[in-house]
């Protein structure tokens, strides 16, 4: 009888141990699921080099960077933030991120040159507020990806290009100003990237890499100059290429063994890179330096090249170099923006803008304009309604078969 009671006690102890083990296993699984959910609902915008050379530690650090908000949530006291099913917009946004179904906002600016006017405004205004107003700062901060044209090298080396009227160069430590402005990626294919020679261009690439700013269109050789940069956002891969059809000397074009930029004088290489990029990317932007300075009308070759880029696979073509705005045209349903002019540059920019491109989970992207002006190195949005409407009317007049509504949204009025 005593043995039977002892055996029963042992069985009871065994069952208790089994139950305890099952409870512990369930607890560990629950904690693991929570951790996975936490990781999946972190910052949804991360970037990776197309060449796949990013270290895992750097990628994780970027995923944890939440300095750029993806969505503005109304958190004022008493505000009703509940959505369908009693869940607030932030929870719904997280669900959208997990399924890769959210819209992505791309933002494009024109030429940036940190001239004396700009640096003086930076000093007077105590930093970024001295060169950009709140409207532009907010627009940049809310974008998933912001791209502009960097119209100068960062370097303390090199000698100025001979027989060139204007040569630009900034000390390497001034990259902190560009970082504050906020571009995620810059085009280097332009007529100032080699103002101080190959050494200065290589310094520029190194400085931008250290600052965490991607760059396209120029580099240590042709492979670097034509390299596709891919940035992932909202479950999509966004690709970026850049090229220039404006530079003073033939040797500015990158070669197999020397630094330079990707040329658009002969677009054979660029067109091939566009075709290859389209196989990788969901949305491809080609940023090209072209046109005639101070001309508000694109040259016929710009229209021809823009169409060729789209035929090869580009979803969007952005232009720069004229230092003034040029019009917008749709070709086969895809936009060509011939020039965004100067964004942050010199003493006076009568008309400028940021172009917002919203890419939805399905369907065609939408374009909208945020108009502005600049003087004494300070670039600001147009807040007067009359000035804004006059700006939109002007853009309609210099564009091809588009309308601009009262909120700045671009509407295609003709399908060729």
Q: How far apart are CA 105 and CA 46, in angstroms?
A: 14
- pTM of this prediction? 0.78
Domains and CATH numbers, the chain: 102-412 (3.60.21.10)
Secondary structure E strands in 175-282: 185-187, 214-216, 218-219, 229-233, 236-244, 260-261
Contact 115, 153 (CB under 8 A): no
β partners of residue 260: 219
Quote the tokens at residue 250.
Answer: 């033939």
The pLDDT, as a whole number, for residue 347 is: 74
Predicted local confidence at residue 346, as pLDDT: 84
Max CA distance (Å), the chain? 111
pLDDT averaged per 10 residues, the chain (length 416): 41 49 54 40 37 36 37 33 37 46 96 97 97 98 99 97 94 98 99 97 99 99 99 98 96 96 97 98 98 97 98 99 98 98 92 98 96 96 98 98 98 82
pLDDT value of position 19 = 55
Per the DSSP assignment, residues forming a β-bridge with 108 are 147, 355
334-337 vs 316-320, strand pairing mode: parallel
Q: Which tokens is 398 given?
A: 């210099």
**Rounded Cα distance, 288 and 281, in Å:** 18
Task: Give Cα 102 distance to the centre of its chain.
Answer: 17
């Amino acid at each position: 009888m005593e043995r039977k009671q002892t055996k029963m006690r042992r069985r009871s102890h065994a069952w208790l141990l089994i139950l305890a083990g099952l409870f512990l296993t369930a607890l560990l699984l629950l904690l693991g699921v929570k951790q996975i959910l936490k990781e999946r609902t972190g910052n949804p915008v991360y970037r990776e080099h197309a060449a796949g050379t990013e270290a895992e530690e750097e990628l994780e650090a970027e995923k944890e960077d939440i300095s750029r908000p993806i969505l503005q949530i109304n958190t004022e006291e008493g505000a009703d933030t509940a959505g369908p099913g009693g869940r607030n917009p932030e929870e719904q946004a997280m669900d959208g991120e997990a399924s890769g179904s959210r819209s992505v906002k791309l933002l494009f600016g024109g030429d940036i040159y940190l001239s004396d006017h700009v640096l003086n405004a930076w000093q007077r205004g105590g930093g970024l507020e001295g060169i950009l107003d709140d409207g532009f700062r907010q627009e940049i901060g809310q974008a998933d990806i912001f791209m502009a044209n960097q119209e100068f090298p960062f370097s303390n080396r090199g000698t100025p290009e001979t027989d060139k009227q204007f040569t630009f160069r900034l000390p390497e430590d001034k990259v902190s100003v560009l970082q504050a402005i906020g571009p995620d990626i810059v085009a280097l294919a332009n007529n100032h990237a080699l103002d101080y020679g190959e050494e200065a261009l290589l310094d520029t690439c190194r400085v931008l890499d250290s600052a965490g700013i991607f760059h396209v269109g120029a580099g240590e050789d042709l492979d670097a100059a034509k390299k596709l940069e891919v940035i992932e956002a909202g479950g999509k891969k966004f690709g970026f290429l850049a090229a220039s059809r404006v530079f003073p000397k033939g040797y500015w074009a990158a070669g197999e063994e020397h630094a330079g930029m990707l040329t658009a004088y002969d677009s054979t290489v660029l067109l091939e890179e566009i075709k290859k990029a389209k196989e990788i990317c969901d949305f491809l932007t080609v940023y090209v330096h072209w046109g005639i300075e101070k001309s508000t009308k694109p040259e016929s070759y710009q229209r021809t090249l823009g169409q060729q880029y789209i035929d090869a696979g580009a979803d969007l073509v952005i232009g720069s170099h004229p230092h003034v705005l040029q019009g917008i045209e749709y070709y086969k349903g895809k936009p060509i923006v011939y020039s965004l002019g100067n964004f942050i540059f010199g003493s006076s920019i009568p008309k400028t803008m940021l172009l917002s491109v919203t890419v939805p989970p399905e369907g065609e992207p939408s374009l909208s304009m945020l108009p502005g002006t600049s003087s004494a190195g300070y670039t600001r949005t147009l807040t007067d309604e009359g000035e804004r409407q006059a700006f939109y009317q002007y853009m309609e007049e210099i564009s091809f078969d588009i309308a601009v509504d009262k909120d700045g949204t671009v509407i295609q009025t003709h399908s060729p």
